[in-house]
Structure 1
């Protein structure tokens, strides 16, 4: 019996040891809750496990949970084999690595599709201790296209009772579904009864992606004409959220007119007579209503919002009224402006036109012009300023004061507003001859000389010419003005003469003389005599040279026997000698004369008779 008890205790202890061993042998599996990936990318799901006993007998199995919540195995394997289940959606796009003695395996899914967004299970089996599993959710994301915003082309009236559609915003091909938020300036718009209504339409495309369209309905106010509206699209991406904004748009808001603005657009500044005036009218409502213009209670034709008045005068002064009619309420709105036209009357001179004054007299001239504004007067003579102010005073009149005086009256505050007047002043008296050329002039005989005489006075002088020798004076030209005469004549000089210019009017006569002296050409005669003597000397030298050359030729012929003349006999130089030439050549040293006859004989001077030609060398 004791033996049975010992055997029973041994069996109990053995079973207890087995139970204790089984209680401490375990399998642990760790996995991420979710794995996120973009559509089309590769996903990797990691399964980490630990086994207290030897991991050599571990079997790994991967499962998926379908959309209908069905658990399907897609893979199993151990350290010696790996098998992908056939016929499933992952048969050709998954792989598992990390088997063997590793405590980590990775499920790789290539080219992830939207339908791959499922829950995946990693189950680890160990024969002696049992199995354990972990789960990971695969999330797939697709960023939407750039959002597009469109506004209503027609305007929105503030008088609409209910919110009106003012724009639409669309985000296409996103996953999961994008969210759209409307903004006015920097403030988001939320559904508010009677003021803001946002209508969202979500469409799931055949690709499984989402398109979201959001329409904004708004009860607009006048201030919305200056506001900008846009959409913000938010969407999920692996690891977070992204946002993108649309372009900003402005909407057309219609609101009634409550006041009008009327002004003179052109010309800028003050208006003067003769101007073309543009009067503009603008309402503070939108759209601009039709306008009616009235000038001093008279309705005028005009453009839609512009009144044009051409060649205005001082009679155009008055009130210009613009009237606008609201086509919805048929209420009229008025606006007005005052038109004032500045003017400047023609200048009035006293005395006017012309005035004749005696030498030494004094004259006071006034120039005034009626104007709506202060004026300023300047006096000019021949373009040069001579005085300022409305009065011009001429004292101790002389001929230089004669001429045309112009007064220019301007309105300094209005550009282009000016008028002019002129007065012609004559100073009467005996003529005066202006200084001309040198009164004494030297002229070659038989030459023609031009003379000019410039006289002034009032009445206009009469010029006559005369000369001391009664020679003809030919008038070439004469130019006359109101008080001056310029006469030009031509005088032919044969000897010393004096020409006279006589200027006369009813107050007397004045003359000026011009002395013309004929020049004797002495220098030219001496030069001619010298030149003539030089010519004679040159001719004599040439003749001597020719005679010497001729004698040499005859002597040469004689020596050669070419001359048939005899050597004897004495020739009478007084008798004719056909073909004979007698030349005496005398040396300066020996004073010996050599006479060559036609036959070549050389004779002393004593034998040659009395008649022969000597040529001195």
Structure 2
């Protein structure tokens, strides 16, 4: 069957050729329309259209597709009215197909070798024949461009162009183009400062790899310049571009200036600081530096062992003050530059106190303390005691010293211009004086009761307290305490009629004593007559209370029944005639009691006609007036009850005062007198502990 079909196909081909040959002399014509170029991406499917137009109608159409070889063309497809087949033994046998409707050729899996001319030939028997061709173009996008900058720096002193970077674009078709950019602007190869070297390599796959190197003459302004390459390539129907990453290059330039600066501390330098000096040059890379210190007398240089551009001076003193110098030598130009900086180390010497350590003075004397310290800057002196400021200046005067003047005085010297530069020292001042016993309190206690007596004394040296007790069998010292210039002792004793207690305070300068006064409270047994009198008074008070309660109840009951006219009114007429004037008469009437009128007239309620007030004001004469009205007389029952209650309280107080023993009244009077006396003593003998004022010994109750 295959052989038979092949024989038929060959006979048809022969017949078609014969027909074409026999019709060559005929004037019929066939026109074939095709695109000049068809573009396709590598690996895709290409479609090439073939549109014939016949000058005469024909029943049989013969279509053949050819490719152009090196020296001849080769048929790859044949189609007539009955058969449509791809030629065997060609590279397109399994990759092409032709549509019977419009004779369009489809090529699948397009490769680079398919980039050639494809010819479509159409024969119409007696209608004639014609052909046309289309060029197939194949494209493939390259990979992302790779850029690599030069690893070594570029010197601005070089007279030749130096390689800045290289750019590679791999596996593109057709070969891509590479353009160089600096700071987003394309570099022109016509410039003497720019040169581009390109290299194109065709890989075994048929794709192209393009390499490009940029040669450039850099300047100092290129320190912050950026470079990148751009790859441009063509794809079906579009021109595309890809940019590489942006790179910077290292530019080397010589050092022309050197500056020595102090990086720390920021303010003035003081003893104990860590000073950091840095040498800065304007070249790249930085040249090596050396540090030196100038001698103040000979100006000779003292070499300082430093291997970097930073000189660190730790724990500086005033000896480190002076002029420092740094030098640099450029390795390309062999030029030497230097810079100097003066360093001043501020200081504050230890404080000198006069007197120093401690000082003693007698009560009422005057002491002057001086505080001085040498410094490189102006100083300020402050005096402190117990956290409070006592004064400012190099001297402190304690006039009329008192016990409160004693203590530790701190002299603080600061240098305001140099933060953190300060010193302090202290002197202990002791005020010597006889002990002073504060006046003991006066007590009133029952016989046989136990009391605690407190003795407090001030003085320096610290006083010691002793007790003298007579007339008591049971007593003991329960507490003793000494704080600065004050001593305190507490004695516990049983109160007796013959009790006498004295508190003695003494030191090396003298002594003082204080006496405790204890007044006994005696309880006198009540006599039978007084007992009977008290009982009669109590019974009288109870009977009076009962009578007042009964009387109040009766009054309240009569009030509720209306027997007592509390707040009622009576009708009265008041008339007044004034000769020579008209008379005006006003009459007020009511038929009910005032209580009822008040109850019904509250909150603006309308009163009945019987409760309304009628007023008649006949005008008799222009200059005479007469008044007639009802005047209300109010009798408040609540006021009567209040009067009865106050009378009862007054009666009860009088009875209580008469019944109270005379001795209690006398004792209260004495207590009032003692309290007045104590207040008067406090006002007269108040404490005076100001440094500039004399302090007078005094006794105040404790």
TM-score by length of 2: 0.63
The whole-number CA distance in structure 2 between the counterparts of 1:219 and 1:439 is 110
Q: Which residue of 1 aligns with 2:74?
A: 72
**Which of the numbers 312, 316, 323 marks the counterpart of 2:327?**
323
Pairing 1:29–2:32 present: yes
The whole-number CA distance in structure 2 between the counterparts of 1:96 and 1:229 is 52
Post-superposition offset of 1:265: 1.7
- Compared CA separation, residues 518 and 263, structure 1 to 2 (3 A): farther
Q: Residues 466 and 473 of structure 1 are in contact (CA less than 8 Å); yes or no, is this contact kept in structure 2?
A: no
Q: Which residue of 2 aligns with 1:544?
A: none
The whole-number CA distance in structure 1 between the counterparts of 2:447 and 2:89 is 139
Q: Which residue of 2 aligns with 1:94?
A: 96
Q: Secondary structure of the residue that 1:293 maps to in structure 2?
A: strand
Q: Secondary structure of the residue that 2:435 maps to in structure 1?
A: strand
The whole-number CA distance in structure 2 between the counterparts of 1:280 and 1:491 is 79
Q: Which residue of 1 aligns with 2:662?
A: none
The whole-number CA distance in structure 2 between the counterparts of 1:463 and 1:253 is 92
Q: Residues 465 and 473 of structure 1 are in contact (CA less than 8 Å); yes or no, is this contact kept in structure 2?
A: no
Post-superposition offset of 1:321: 0.8
The whole-number CA distance in structure 2 between the counterparts of 1:491 and 1:105 is 138
Q: Which residue of 1 aligns with 2:383?
A: 379
Q: Secondary structure of the residue that 2:505 maps to in structure 1?
A: strand
Q: Secondary structure of the residue that 1:105 maps to in structure 2?
A: coil
Could you list the per-position Cα deviations for residues 385-444 of structure 1 after superposition, in whole angstroms to 9, with x for gaps in the alignment?
Answer: 3334545454443322222221222233433111113233333333234699x7759899
Q: Which residue of 2 aligns with 1:306?
A: 310
The whole-number CA distance in structure 1 between the counterparts of 2:188 and 2:408 is 86
Greater shift after overlay, 233-242 or 398-407? 398-407
Bigger relative contact order, structure 1 or 2 (CA pairs below 8 A, ≥6 apart): 2
Q: Secondary structure of the residue that 2:436 maps to in structure 1?
A: strand
The whole-number CA distance in structure 2 between the counterparts of 1:443 and 1:219 is 118
- Compared CA separation, residues 82 and 289, structure 1 to 2 (3 A): same
Q: Secondary structure of the residue that 2:256 maps to in structure 1?
A: coil
Q: Residues 445 and 520 of structure 2 are in contact (CA less than 8 Å); yes or no, is this contact kept in structure 1?
A: yes
Greater shift after overlay, 344-353 or 248-257? 344-353
The whole-number CA distance in structure 1 between the counterparts of 2:311 and 2:40 is 70
**Which of the numbers 198, 201, 222 marks the counterpart of 1:200?**
198
Q: Residues 165 and 216 of structure 1 are in contact (CA less than 8 Å); yes or no, is this contact kept in structure 2?
A: yes
Tell me, which stretches of 5 or more residues in structure 2 are unaligned? 1-22, 295-300, 523-702
Q: Which residue of 2 aligns with 1:3?
A: none
- Compared CA separation, residues 96 and 456, structure 1 to 2 (3 A): same
Tell me, which stretches of 5 or more residues in structure 1 are unaligned? 1-18, 521-617
Q: Residues 123 and 130 of structure 2 are in contact (CA less than 8 Å); yes or no, is this contact kept in structure 1?
A: yes
Pairing 1:429–2:429 present: no
Q: Which residue of 2 aligns with 1:131?
A: 129
The whole-number CA distance in structure 2 between the counterparts of 1:241 and 1:171 is 16
Could you list the per-position Cα deviations for residues 98-121 of structure 1 after superposition, in whole angstroms to 9, with x for gaps in the alignment?
Answer: 43xxxx331111111111111112
Q: Residues 117 and 136 of structure 2 are in contact (CA less than 8 Å); yes or no, is this contact kept in structure 1?
A: yes
Q: Secondary structure of the residue that 2:223 maps to in structure 1?
A: helix
Q: Which residue of 2 aligns with 1:271?
A: 269
Aligned CA-pair RMSD:
3.4
- Compared CA separation, residues 391 and 37, structure 1 to 2 (3 A): farther
Post-superposition offset of 1:493: 5.3
Greater shift after overlay, 144-153 or 69-78? 69-78
Post-superposition offset of 1:33: 1.8
Post-superposition offset of 1:328: 3.7
The whole-number CA distance in structure 1 between the counterparts of 2:444 and 2:209 is 114
Could you list the per-position Cα deviations for residues 183-216 of structure 1 after superposition, in whole angstroms to 9, with x for gaps in the alignment?
Answer: 2212222335763232212111111111111122
Q: Which residue of 2 aligns with 1:583?
A: none
The whole-number CA distance in structure 2 between the counterparts of 1:517 and 1:93 is 140
- Compared CA separation, residues 144 and 354, structure 1 to 2 (3 A): same
- Compared CA separation, residues 221 and 450, structure 1 to 2 (3 A): farther
Post-superposition offset of 1:274: 0.8
Structure with higher strand content: 1
1:523-534 correspondence runs (5 A): none
Pairing 1:54–2:60 present: no
- Compared CA separation, residues 200 and 460, structure 1 to 2 (3 A): same
Q: Residues 190 and 198 of structure 1 are in contact (CA less than 8 Å); yes or no, is this contact kept in structure 2?
A: no
Could you list the per-position Cα deviations for residues 215-250 of structure 1 after superposition, in whole angstroms to 9, with x for gaps in the alignment?
Answer: 222222222222111111111111121111111111
- Compared CA separation, residues 513 and 44, structure 1 to 2 (3 A): farther
Structure with higher helix content: 2
The whole-number CA distance in structure 2 between the counterparts of 1:70 and 1:336 is 89
- Compared CA separation, residues 125 and 480, structure 1 to 2 (3 A): same
Q: Residues 446 and 495 of structure 2 are in contact (CA less than 8 Å); yes or no, is this contact kept in structure 1?
A: no
Post-superposition offset of 1:381: 1.2
**Which of the numbers 370, 373, 384 marks the counterpart of 1:369?**
373
Q: Which residue of 2 aligns with 1:295?
A: 293
Aligned residue pairs total: 492
**Which of the numbers 224, 249, 255 marks the counterpart of 1:251?**
249
**Which of the numbers 143, 146, 149 marks the counterpart of 1:148?**
146
